[in-house]
């Protein structure tokens, strides 16, 4: 019988060390598990009566692993979908009764994203050192935002971490679902637009210049129709002044990005987004859905309303709505209800104001906020479907008109030339 030194996790996720006698490593693992421990490393002690020299062997499902790590700048970030999967798996494990530390170690071993895997490893080490789960999450602000951290904090304080993680995963899944629907709905129109621009570019930079040379030789200095002159001029600009146009576009994009970094510029751009033709309604409904769902999720998790409003202000993603939330926060801080400042902001539709008012009167504001979010999510789905059905024929008509105009412009001089020859 040999003697083994082991490291394991107890039912609370704390690391324990000890020694145990067993015939072999498999028996040692079984005996450790009988003590309600989860072994992470087993080492046979030298001269303990084993049949061979001292050796180290990883326990099943744990142990030391050699890992090649890419430099951080090559690891990439953590995508929203990857974080959603992590949260759902974490919720499932904790809800199944696994200790927090064990759940983190399980997810660490199976996580494929290097950045998220490193973060989970560091979080586990922080918790082992005495930090709370929320404090460990807060150390990685680029992965876990304030919404995530504060909901976990509320769950830990209230002893309902499994419930909170479930709500968080539902929140993330809803957001990903809406984003996925918008992306899938816009894929076809974008493909059509790219094809239209490609065809237009080919005609204007290759076909039209050839006709311009032909017309110059055949017409002998005679004036061409106005439409033809316009098309020829546009083609000449695209061919010979393309670098200037490209630089102008780049400068415009840079200026817009710089403006977006200033408070007033960001406010103006976000205001334009909310009132933009076609897309404005969709952006507005999506922003309201995000505001109500985030606030409802936080409040249902037990986060105090003022703290929840502060978090929503930073995560809503639109400066106009963010400023409206600041007004609501200040009013609630003074003891007012939420509905009046929401109404006075002129940002939210009357239906939202009425439902918030009813929620406050009945004491079911979090549930009412979630119902508003569900309603607006449905509106976003319908708006995306309607917008797609409108954009597709418009793009086809646009392509037909542009190509048709170019063809007509090229045929008009030919008619004049043929008429001159026959005369």
- State the SS3 of 159-225: CCHHHHHHHHHHHHHHHHHHHHHHHHHHHHHHHHHHHHHHHHHHHHHHHHHHHHHHHHHHHCCCCCC
Residue 9 domain flag? yes
241 in the same domain as 389: yes
The pLDDT of residue 250 is: 93
281 in the same domain as 223: yes
Among 174, 204, 226, residue at a domain's last position = 174
149 in the same domain as 201: no
355 in the same domain as 319: yes
337 in the same domain as 292: yes
Q: What is the CATH number of the domain that holds 391?
A: 1.20.81.30
Q: List, in order, residues 6 or more apart from 401 with CB less than 8 Å away.
A: none
The pLDDT of residue 342 is: 92
> How far, in Å, CA of 196 to CA of 359, rounded?
50
326 in the same domain as 217: yes
The pLDDT of residue 39 is: 66
The pLDDT of residue 221 is: 56
Each residue's pLDDT, cut to its tens digit, for the chain (423 residues) gives: 788 888 776 655 566 788 888 888 778 877 887 777 766 677 888 765 554 444 444 443 444 333 334 344 334 578 888 898 999 999 898 888 888 888 999 998 888 888 899 999 999 998 888 888 989 998 998 898 887 888 888 788 777 888 888 888 888 888 888 888 777 777 877 888 888 888 888 888 888 888 887 877 776 656 778 888 888 888 888 888 878 888 999 999 999 889 888 888 888 998 998 888 777 888 888 889 888 988 888 888 788 888 889 888 877 878 899 899 999 999 999 888 999 999 998 889 999 999 999 999 998 999 999 999 989 988 888 888 887 788 878 888 888 898 899 889 888 888 777 776 665
CA 160 to chain centre: 26
191 in the same domain as 169: no
157 in the same domain as 238: no
Residue 71 domain flag? no
> How far, in Å, CA of 213 to CA of 206, rounded?
12
Q: Where is 42: in which H helix or E strand? A: strand 38-44
The pLDDT of residue 340 is: 92
| Closest alpha carbon to 115 in 135, 152, 144, 151 | 144
200 in the same domain as 250: yes
CB 380 within 8 A of CB 177: no
Among 151, 174, 197, residue at a domain's last position = 174
Residue 64 domain flag? no
Residue 67 domain flag? no
CB 295 within 8 A of CB 285: no
Q: Domain range spanning residue 271? A: 186-423
151 in the same domain as 25: no
152 in the same domain as 10: no
Structural domains of the chain, count: 3
Helices 80-95 and 114-128, axial angle in degrees (round to 10): 40
Count CB neighbours of 167 within 10 A: 20
Residue 180 domain flag? no
Residue 181 domain flag? no
383 in the same domain as 268: yes
């Amino acid at each position: 019988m040999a003697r083994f030194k082991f490291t394991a996790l107890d039912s609370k996720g704390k690391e324990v060390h000890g020694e145990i006698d067993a015939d072999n490593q498999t028996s040692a693992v079984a005996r450790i598990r009988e003590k309600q421990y989860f072994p992470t490393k087993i080492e046979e002690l030298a001269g303990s009566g084993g049949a061979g020299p001292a050796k180290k062997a990883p326990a099943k499902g744990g142990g030391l692993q050699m890992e090649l790590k890419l430099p951080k700048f090559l690891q990439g970030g953590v995508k929203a979908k990857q974080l959603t999967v992590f949260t759902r798996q974490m919720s499932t494990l904790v809800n199944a009764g696994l200790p927090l530390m064990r759940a983190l170690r399980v997810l660490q071993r199976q996580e494929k994203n290097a950045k998220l895997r490193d973060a989970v490893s560091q979080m586990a080490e922080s918790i082992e050192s005495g930090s709370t789960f929320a404090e460990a999450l807060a150390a990685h602000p680029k992965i876990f935002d304030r919404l995530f951290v504060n909901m976990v904090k509320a769950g830990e304080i209230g002893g309902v971490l499994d419930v909170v993680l479930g709500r968080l995963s539902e929140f993330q899944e809803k957001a990903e679902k809406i984003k996925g629907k918008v992306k899938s709905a816009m894929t076809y129109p974008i493909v059509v637009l790219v094809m239209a621009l490609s065809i237009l570019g080919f005609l204007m930079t290759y076909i039209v210049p050839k006709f311009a040379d032909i017309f110059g030789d055949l017409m002998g200095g005679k004036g061409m129709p106005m439409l033809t002159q316009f098309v020829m001029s546009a083609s000449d600009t695209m061919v010979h002044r393309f670098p200037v146009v490209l630089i102008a576009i780049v400068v415009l994009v840079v200026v817009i990005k710089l403006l977006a970094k200033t408070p007033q510029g960001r406010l103006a751009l976000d205001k334009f987004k909310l009132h933009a033709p076609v897309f404005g309604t969709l952006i507005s409904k999506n922003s309201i859905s995000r505001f109500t769902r985030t606030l409802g999720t936080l409040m249902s998790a037990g986060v105090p309303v003022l703290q929840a409003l502060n978090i929503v202000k930073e995560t809503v993603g639109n400066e106009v709505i963010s400023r409206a939330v600041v007004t609501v926060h200040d009013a609630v801080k003074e003891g007012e209800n939420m509905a009046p400042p929401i109404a006075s902001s002129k940002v939210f539709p009357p239906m939202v104001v009425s439902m918030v008012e009813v929620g406050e009167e009945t004491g079911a504001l979090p549930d009412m906020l979630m119902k508003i979010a569900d309603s607006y999510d449905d509106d976003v789905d319908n708006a995306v479907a309607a917008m797609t059905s409108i954009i597709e024929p418009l793009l086809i008509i646009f392509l037909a008109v542009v190509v048709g105009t170019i063809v007509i412009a090229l045929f008009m001089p030919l008619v004049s030339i043929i008429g001159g020859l026959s005369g």
